[in-house]
């Protein structure tokens, strides 16, 4: 009896603590304009990461469709650097809705079928996230981004205490190949002092992990897909490779030979082929622009090809911003990729594959996956990097290179090392895999969370 009473009071107490200690209630979205009826809860709003300089990061959180209290918490980050995880990730890739005209339509392959999905606009200056002190934007780098992301996560967990002990995964794509490992490393370090992050795994899609291996895989990818001739391939691998071109370009010291080689490559590949999916002929600018920085020559070409953007229209509606508890600070429009941020672009050259290695050593399982039609960060570079890392760590193959299935079709290929480091391709997928192959991506995500190898049969 006494025990029952105790538990009753304990229950009451924790109920009130939750009510009072958090303003999570005020971040609850009652309904997004044009959305269909759903059973899960959504939240969005700001977490201040720097009181002194008034820096606040904006998040959108979609609880799991069913049984959220039994499902993990997953943070998703898009890349750029400087592009929005809300606009690209949530509303174009793996979130519950996609804008269509005035309405939102359900995404049948939303990742919130498997997890509680948290999307963060980072660093400040991206999307609805802001710094009132605009001098912050003048030079932002990987270190600052990772630090702010860590503060965000700690404070977000304080606001949503029921998620504090929940299994936590960090996922992302493209330049998030920097953001995610760097954040995860800070979390692992923080945990040695005070264990507050229940980090269970990391998944990275078409990530930038090692500048020269990733960027120089482009030549062979172009050549083997028929986008460039044999002679141009020779130039692009001997006279000037892509990593050298990008390095020179961002240092403002483009050599004549690199300028010549790149103009020939660009002429042959044609601007009417989508570099993020060489088989795709449509253009969705919100999905594509996160990688513009990874392909600097194409910046001016791309804009004309992409006319309309549902996400840009939707997120710029006043009623939508009100429903999201979002505001524009220091910018006139919400844009997919930041127009105010000056990111240290040469941070591209910082290798993060070694950070991935240290995460694995700390016991955090990692999945590197690749949409196999992407020429920007091709699967071949990622596969080499994973294989090399496995060798360095002395990890033996536990699942030999083989196909995996989604439904009755091959979803891609996979290999697993030491049960902690996995590689997988997604067949027919672009740089933004959940956008172009949503079913296969959801299968991959589900299996990743389960900790098991991808299905070998159907």
Pick the binder of ligand NAG from 147, 154, 225, 244 (CB under 6 A). 244
Backbone angles phi, psi at 440, to 5 degrees: -65, -35
Pick the binder of ligand NAG from 241, 285, 414, 436 (CB under 6 A). 241
Which candidate, 63, 76, 58, places its Cα nearest to that of 148? 58
Q: Is 243 in the site for ligand NAG (CB under 6 A)?
A: yes
Residue 401 CB, shortest distance to ligand NAG, in Å, is: 23
Q: Is 191 in the site for ligand NAG (CB under 6 A)?
A: no
Cα–Cα distance, 279 to 225 (Å, whole number): 10
Q: Binding residues for ligand NAG, how many (CB under 6 A)?
A: 6
Q: Is 425 in the site for ligand NAG (CB under 6 A)?
A: no
Pick the binder of ligand NAG from 35, 162, 191, 212 (CB under 6 A). 212
Q: Toward ligand NAG, which CB reaches closer, 74 or 235? A: 235
Q: Is 239 in the site for ligand NAG (CB under 6 A)?
A: no
Residue 33 has which token pair? Answer: 């304009």
Q: Is 216 in the site for ligand NAG (CB under 6 A)?
A: yes
- Give the three-class secondary structure for 422: strand
Active site residues: 174, 374, 431
Q: Strand 199-205 relative to strand 366-371: parallel, antiparallel, unpaired?
A: parallel
Q: Which of residues 31-70 bind ligand NAG (CB under 6 A)?
A: none
Residue 218 has which token pair? Answer: 């482009």
Q: Which residues pair with 120 in a beta bridge?
A: 59
Q: Is 250 in the site for ligand NAG (CB under 6 A)?
A: no
Backbone angles phi, psi at 156, to 5 degrees: -65, -40
Residue 51, C-beta contacts closer than 8 angstroms, at least 6 positions apart: none
Residue 138 has which token pair? Answer: 């003048």
Q: Is 122 in the site for ligand NAG (CB under 6 A)?
A: no
**Window of 55-63, 126-134, 239-247, 276-284 that interacts with ligand NAG by CB under 6 A:** 239-247
Q: Is 254 in the site for ligand NAG (CB under 6 A)?
A: no
Q: Is 387 in the site for ligand NAG (CB under 6 A)?
A: no
Cα–Cα distance, 445 to 452 (Å, whole number): 11
Q: Which residue has the tokens 């300028």?
A: 259
> Which residues of this protein are in contact with ligand NAG, per CB under 6 A?
212, 216, 237, 241, 243-244
């Amino acid at each position: 009896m006494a025990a029952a009473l105790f538990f009753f009071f304990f229950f009451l107490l924790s109920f009130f603590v939750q009510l009072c200690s958090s303003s999570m209630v005020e971040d609850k979205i009652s309904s997004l304009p044009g959305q269909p009826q759903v059973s899960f809860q959504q939240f969005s709003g700001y977490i201040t990461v720097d009181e002194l300089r008034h820096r606040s990061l904006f998040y959108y959180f979609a609880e799991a469709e069913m049984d959220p209290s039994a499902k993990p918490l997953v943070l998703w980050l898009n890349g750029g650097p400087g592009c929005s995880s809300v606009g690209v990730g949530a509303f174009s890739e793996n979130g519950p809705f996609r804008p269509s005209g005035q309405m939102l339509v359900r995404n049948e392959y939303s990742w919130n079928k498997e997890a509680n999905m948290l999307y963060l606009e980072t660093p400040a200056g991206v999307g609805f996230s802001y710094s009132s002190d605009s001098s912050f934007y003048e030079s932002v780098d990987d270190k600052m981004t990772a630090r702010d992301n860590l503060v965000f996560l700690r404070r977000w967990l304080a606001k949503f205490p029921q998620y504090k002990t929940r299994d936590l995964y960090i996922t992302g794509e493209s330049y998030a190949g920097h953001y995610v490992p760097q954040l995860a490393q800070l979390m692992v370090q923080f945990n040695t002092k005070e264990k507050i992050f229940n980090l269970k795994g990391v998944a990275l899609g078409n990530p930038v992990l090692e500048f020269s291996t990733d960027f120089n895989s482009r030549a062979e990818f172009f050549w083997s897909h028929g986008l460039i001739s044999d002679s141009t391939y020779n130039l692009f691998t001997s006279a000037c490779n892509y990593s050298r071109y990008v390095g020179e370009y961002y240092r403002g010291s483009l050599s004549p030979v690199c300028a010549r080689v790149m103009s020939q490559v660009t002429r042959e590949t044609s601007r009417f082929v989508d570099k993020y999916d060489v088989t795709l002929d449509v253009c969705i600018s919100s999905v594509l622009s996160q990688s513009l920085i990874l392909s600097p020559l194409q910046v001016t070409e791309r804009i004309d090809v992409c006319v309309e953007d549902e996400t840009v229209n939707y997120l710029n509606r006043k009623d939508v911003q009100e429903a999201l508890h979002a505001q524009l600070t220091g910018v006139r429009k919400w844009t997919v990729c930041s127009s105010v941020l000056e990111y240290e672009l040469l941070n591209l050259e910082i290798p993060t594959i070694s950070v991935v290695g240290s995460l694995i050593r700390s016991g955090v399982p990692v999945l590197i996956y690749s949409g196999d039609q992407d020429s920007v960060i091709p699967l071949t570079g990622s596969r080499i990097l994973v294989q090399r890392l496995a060798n360095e760590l002395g990890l033996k193959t536990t699942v030999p290179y083989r196909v995996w299935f989604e439904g009755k079709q091959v979803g891609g290929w996979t290999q697993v090392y030491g049960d902690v480091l996995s590689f997988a391709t997604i067949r027919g997928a672009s740089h933004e895999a959940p956008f172009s192959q949503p079913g296969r991506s959801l299968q991959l995500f589900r299996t990743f969370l389960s900790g098991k190898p991808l299905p070998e049969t159907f």
